[in-house]
Structure 1
Amino acid sequence: MGGVTHAATAAPTRVRGGIAVPLGVLGAVLAGFGYVAAVDPNQPGHYPVCPLLHYTGLYCPGCGGLRGAHALAHGHLGTALGCNAAAVAGYAVFAAVWTLWFLRALRGRRFDPALPPAALYAVCGLLLAFTVVRNLPFGAALAP
């Protein structure tokens, strides 16, 4: 076949150290944040309404997350925390986990972000408590 060996045609096109996937995830997240930064969620009609809020009047744990991301993208940390403190904490956790993943990928090491069941239950419990408290009168400061 024209002198081309199978090994030459099957050569992988990898990014150094297997960092393609973490970089792809970062690109997707930055694209999402860029879109939310450009298209203001405070203006009606750009994003779907939260079904729980629409039908029950209750805030879900994600309500205000887009407005918080918009505020954070514009450098307004206080406003972002006021929109959804749990989402902002989630953004910070994602940044830390992604950094660890990227550094391990650079070194060619495996990354396993699995949490023990007790930690998962604790996170779910915190989100449930956050949801309940933000819907009670004394937790109005947590409502978006």
Structure 2
Amino acid sequence: MKFLYILGLIVLLSFVIIYYQFNPEVYSFFPECPFHKYLHLDCPGCGSQRAIHALLHLNLQKAMGYNLLLVFSLPILALQLFCKIYSYFTKKTLLLHFWYSPNTPKIIFVIVMIFWIARNLPYPPFNYLAA
């Protein structure tokens, strides 16, 4: 189990270094969104790679322009990761109780669907959500 945590940390750090060093707008080795490429619409994840690059360069405003949902969800995901790491090393259970509620996946699904629809509407203020 410890090996998996170390491997996960190595992979995470590798991605952080890659996304810090290389701008997805400039380099073509980053994967393209097939939804955007073929349908010319933004999926909920469109702009995430550019948003991560902007966040790593401490440009919050630019990151929010690329993918607002990602920027708002990262603190919750980081808190969950911290709880997992804390629990692993201290052998004490630290849980975000709302994360384990049966309604959480449903709420997340609804939020993602609303964001997906809203960011493809061509009217203000929704057009500001587009990647």
Displacement of 1:68 after TM fit?
0.1
| Larger-gyration structure (1/2) | 1
Deviation at 1:111, TM superposition (A): 6.7
User: With CA pairs under 8 Å and 6+ residues apart, which has the higher RCO, 1 or 2?
Assistant: 1
Partners of 2:50 and 2:63 within 8 A in 1: yes
1:129 aligned residue: 114
Q: What are structure 1's unaligned runs of at least 5 residues?
A: 1-17
TM-score with structure 2 length normalisation? 0.84
Unaligned runs of at least 5 residues, structure 2? none
The whole-number CA distance in structure 1 between the counterparts of 2:79 and 2:88 is 14
* Equivalent residue in structure 2 for 1:86, among 69, 74, 78: 69
Q: Distance in 2 between matches of 1:61 and 1:74?
A: 22
Paired residue for 2:15?
Answer: 32
CA shift, 1:109, in A, is 3.4
RMSD: 2.2
Residue number in structure 2 paired with 1:54: 37
Return the TM-score normalized by structure 1. 0.77
1:108 aligns with 2:83: no
Change in Cα spacing, 1:27 to 1:94, as seen in structure 2 (3 Å) is: farther
One-letter identity of the residue aligned with 1:107: T
2:128 aligned partner, one-letter code:
A
Looking at structure 2, the residues matched to 94 and 21 of structure 1 have their Cα atoms a distance apart, in angstroms, of: 19
Alignment coverage as a number of residue pairs? 127
Residue in structure 2 matched with residue 143 of structure 1 by the alignment: 130
Aligned CA distance change for structure 1 residues 94 and 19 (closer, same or farther; 3 Å): farther
